[in-house]
Structure 1
């Protein structure tokens, strides 16, 4: 599920929203209230249950062949999403909806590369919420590799130390980092 031209999407497990009001998100790092949405490129990052921790990686202009093979995999496309086994059942059963919103009031948010679209005024959806459907199929049809791991942290650490581009969402909900040598590493 991706937006059409002139639209952005807001994904939610609530199919009853009739108006989006700017608010400060619980996870926000800035104090300004916004209505949050995503564009075509960022939509796949939200094909998950809301609280599902996920590590996303994709090849960019400076990604080395070695990192592409090591992180994404040989012959596996250019993008990989990873979740933990503990979230697989929710990924298969969540009822996720997409709201199509007019793109006009939104502007890109995030540096150095925007990762969301934000509006500072209330926004009314262009229509009712649309069921996103099978999230595994969404990944398959988009050619995005989906990995299911016991623990996200080893993969995440490899991703952030590589030349691939990446995003981590709801990582605070991931299982604790594995203990190495009897001492838990300090989270960044």
Structure 2
């Protein structure tokens, strides 16, 4: 589930929304009220239940072969996502929806290591182009996109490896992850 040209997506477990109004997100680390959405490249970051902690990593122009093999894995493409075992059932059963928006009112927010936006934001109310679309099987989405999906007992060792590598990375809802293991 990705946006078409000239569109951005907002993912939600609520299929009844008809108008999105800028607000200060409860998890915001920056000031400002926004409607949040994502473009084609960042859509896979949201192929998860909303509260699911996840770590994602992907290659960029400066990624070393060693880091790609070590983090993503041999023959596993250019992107990997990781979740904890405790979220597998929720990933199987969640009813996730995508709202399509005209990209016109949205502007890039932040920047990754390749100069691409990490999100798209609107500062005015926006109305979806149509009703919410059911996203479908999250495992199948990952498979069709060629994204390796790793399931781990705990995300923190993987997070540490990813954030010290030459890959681009993102962590979402990590406050919901299990506590770090003491070794």
For the pair 1:165 / 2:168, whether they are aligned, the reply is yes
For the pair 1:122 / 2:128, whether they are aligned, the reply is no
Q: Find the aligned partners of 1:82 and 1:138 in 2 and give their Cα distance.
A: 14
| Offset of residue 111 of structure 1 | 3.1
| Offset of residue 132 of structure 1 | 0.1
Q: Find the aligned partners of 2:167 and 2:128 in 1 and give their Cα distance.
A: 34
| Offset of residue 30 of structure 1 | 1.4
Q: Find the aligned partners of 2:31 and 2:64 in 1 and give their Cα distance.
A: 37
CA RMSD of aligned residues (A): 0.7
Q: Find the aligned partners of 2:6 and 2:65 in 1 and give their Cα distance.
A: 35
Gaps of 5+ in 2: none
Residue aligning to 1:48 = 48
Residue aligning to 1:81 = 81
For the pair 1:6 / 2:6, whether they are aligned, the reply is yes
Partner of 1:156, secondary structure, is helix
1:39-118 correspondence to structure 2 within 5 Å:
39-112=39-112, 113=115, 114-118=117-121
1:29-40 correspondence to structure 2 within 5 Å:
29-40=29-40
| Offset of residue 52 of structure 1 | 0.2
| Offset of residue 6 of structure 1 | 1.0
Q: Find the aligned partners of 1:159 and 1:168 in 2 and give their Cα distance.
A: 10
Residue aligning to 1:15 = 15
| Offset of residue 31 of structure 1 | 1.9
Q: Name the TM-score, length of structure 1 as normaliser.
A: 0.94
1:153 alignment partner, one of 152, 156, 174: 156
Q: Find the aligned partners of 1:51 and 1:107 in 2 and give their Cα distance.
A: 25
User: Number of residues paired by the alignment?
Assistant: 180
| Offset of residue 102 of structure 1 | 0.8
Partner of 1:137, secondary structure, is helix
Q: Name the TM-score, length of structure 2 as normaliser.
A: 0.97
1:135-161 CA deviation, whole Å, 9 max, x = no partner?
A: 000000000000110000000000001
Q: Find the aligned partners of 1:171 and 1:30 in 2 and give their Cα distance.
A: 17
| Offset of residue 49 of structure 1 | 0.2
Gaps of 5+ in 1: 181-188
Q: Find the aligned partners of 1:42 and 1:65 in 2 and give their Cα distance.
A: 23
